[in-house]
Amino acid sequence: MSILSIKNLGKSYRSYSSEWKRIARWFGLTAQGVDEHWVLRHINFDIQPGEAIGVVGQNGAGKSTLLKMITGVLEPSEGEVQVNGRIAAILELGMGFNPDLTGRQNVIHSAGLMGYSHEQIFRALPEIEKFAEIGDYFDAPVRTYSSGMQVRVAFSVATAFRPDILIVDEALSVGDSYFQVKCINRIKKFLEEGTTLFLVSHDVGAIKTLCQRALLVDAGRIILDADALSVIKLHQSLMLKKENDTNQSSRIKKNTRNISQAEKLTDDLQVSGDVLVVKEAIEAVDIRFLDESNRPISYVVSGQPLTVEISVKFKKQFHDPHIGFGIRDKNGLVIYETNTYCMNKELGAVQKNDRVSVSYSFDCHLGAGDFSFVVGVANEGYGKGSFRDNLYYDHEFKVLKVLQTGDDIWAGFFNLCPKLKINIANS
Ligand SMILES: Nc1ncnc2c1ncn2[C@@H]1O[C@H](COP(=O)(O)OP(=O)(O)OP(=O)(O)O)[C@@H](O)[C@H]1O
């Protein structure tokens, strides 16, 4: 049996052209000038016990609305939510906390609302206080807390007892990385013990780490319900597409820059599987891994020299193209990323049919394992690594195997090759 079942769920808000129309509605009178706006509609999915589901989507897509309806904070306008278990939820920051009460008082109140007895709460209080690690602030009014402190207390109380379903909305992205790791470890432990997780986050790394399945919400609909990696790839591609569209429309509006017709991008951006490509801009992209004698290789021994060579054939003229690459581990976490713009290098203008190749050479100090290489091509960099036009992006262009010999034993993602000094004094 599903632990959570969502059937044809929807939420709409009404806006009224005048206050009179709103009041007329209270008395059940129908009136003209009422605008019904659906922010979420036709949502259907089932979650099995023990599943970990991520929810991604752009700002305003409807993710928080969905969670609020599942947790009963919002009344659905249509459809139904069936929950077969005890829910613990960490929704918007500070939601449910009384700012004039202390952390301790809020914890007692929140745990009471979650259905725990006085005895259970008082037994758990020392552990909740210890996990939050906010010192004397635990007995100060919540209005004096930083946002990070509020999350610490909210997470500690919500997870003081293992729930059947844990719902987390963005809470992990607030606060310091030390506490984030603590939270992720607690969630992992719950997952091992059978808790079902529903996690909304803009931090795709957290979703990749914790979830097998994910939902992509776009403009109030679920447009993809699949394995977490596929959903994240489509989400990232759509974000790049949105960035392109925004940049183009702001150019058209301002019309202050004289972008030549050759560079003007039409609505020809294609997203398929792992790859996002502007068809009219890029003919072909290739990547090769080379050793120090420029021989192609498919694996490298950790610490040995590696050259990553990327070649791009352009289909039309661009005045400021850039080429970059990224390395991800098997969970999709970004290990490293750079591009010619971020390295303050210019390729110069390219013409139709130009084939450009760039090489990044370095000693590859990655730990043993398979690493996938991301390739990106863009035009006109600005700010701290943004681009006006994203022309090409492949999330998983090629995989490189890194082997570790037994000469030097270390653990982790990356060998920092520390210099070791030993002093022994005997006085
Ligand atoms: N009380 C409300 N009245 C009218 N519209 C609302 C109300 N609350 C939310 N909305 C609208 O519903 C849509 C979905 O909002 P929601 O907060 O669920 O998005 P989200 O995906 O969680 O966004 P974000 O990632 O920015 O938190 C938005 O367009 C928002 O403006």
Q: Whole domain around residue 55: which residue ranges?
A: 4-86+163-231
Residue 30 lies in a domain: yes
Burial 35-62 (b: 16+ CB within 10 A, else e): eeebbbbebebebeeebbbbbbbbeebb
Q: Which atom of ligand 1 is nearest to the CA of 170?
A: 27
CA of 67 to the centre of ligand 1 (A): 11
Pick from 130, 123, 170: nearest CA to 151: 170
Three-state SS string across 212-253, please? CEEEEEECCEEEEEEEHHHHHHHHHHHHHHHHHHHHHHHHHH
Residue 141 lies in a domain: no
On whether both 42 and 171 belong to a single domain, the answer is: yes
Residue 250 lies in a domain: no
On whether both 337 and 381 belong to a single domain, the answer is: yes
- Closest residue by Cα to atom 8, ligand 1, is 65
pLDDT of residue 260: 42
d(Cα 134, Cα 182) in Å, to the nearest integer? Answer: 14
CA of 64 to the centre of ligand 1 (A): 7
* Cβ atoms of residues 51 and 213 within 8 Å: yes
pLDDT of residue 214: 95
Burial 374-403 (b: 16+ CB within 10 A, else e): bbbbbbbbeeeeebbbbbbbbbbbbebebe
On whether both 217 and 270 belong to a single domain, the answer is: no
Residue 227 lies in a domain: yes
Residue 378 lies in a domain: yes
On whether both 181 and 307 belong to a single domain, the answer is: no
Question: What is the interface pTM, i.e. ipTM, of the complex?
Answer: 0.95
**Torsion angle of alpha carbons 215, 220, 223, 226, nearest 10°?**
10
Pocket-testing residue among 36, 43, 63, ligand 1, by greatest number of atoms within 8 A of Cβ: 63
pLDDT of residue 271: 58
On whether both 221 and 266 belong to a single domain, the answer is: no
What CATH number is given to the structural domain containing 66?
A: 3.40.50.300
On whether both 67 and 174 belong to a single domain, the answer is: yes
Strand 299-301 and strand 355-363: the pairing is: unpaired
d(Cα 45, Cα 111) in Å, to the nearest integer? Answer: 29
Residue 305 lies in a domain: yes
On whether both 78 and 226 belong to a single domain, the answer is: yes
CA of 175 to the centre of ligand 1 (A): 23
On whether both 222 and 288 belong to a single domain, the answer is: no
Q: Say if pTM beats, i.e. exceeds, 0.80.
A: no
On whether both 267 and 361 belong to a single domain, the answer is: yes
On whether both 184 and 263 belong to a single domain, the answer is: no
What CATH number is given to the structural domain containing 381?
A: 2.70.50.60
Q: Which residues line ligand 1 (CB under 6 A)?
A: 13, 39, 57, 59-65
pLDDT of residue 314: 95
On whether both 224 and 288 belong to a single domain, the answer is: no
User: Which residues in the chain show pLDDT less than 70?
Assistant: 16-34, 92-95, 173-175, 244-275, 331, 406
Phi, psi of 152 (to 5 degrees): -55, -45
Strand partners, 342: none
On whether both 205 and 264 belong to a single domain, the answer is: no
Query: Apex CA 115: angle with CA 104 and CA 196, to 5°?
Result: 100
Amino acid letter at 128? I
CA of 41 to the centre of ligand 1 (A): 13
pLDDT of residue 255: 39
Per the structure, the count of domains in the chain is 2
Q: Which atom of ligand 1 is nearest to the CA of 57?
A: 21
Residue 170 lies in a domain: yes
Residue 113 lies in a domain: no
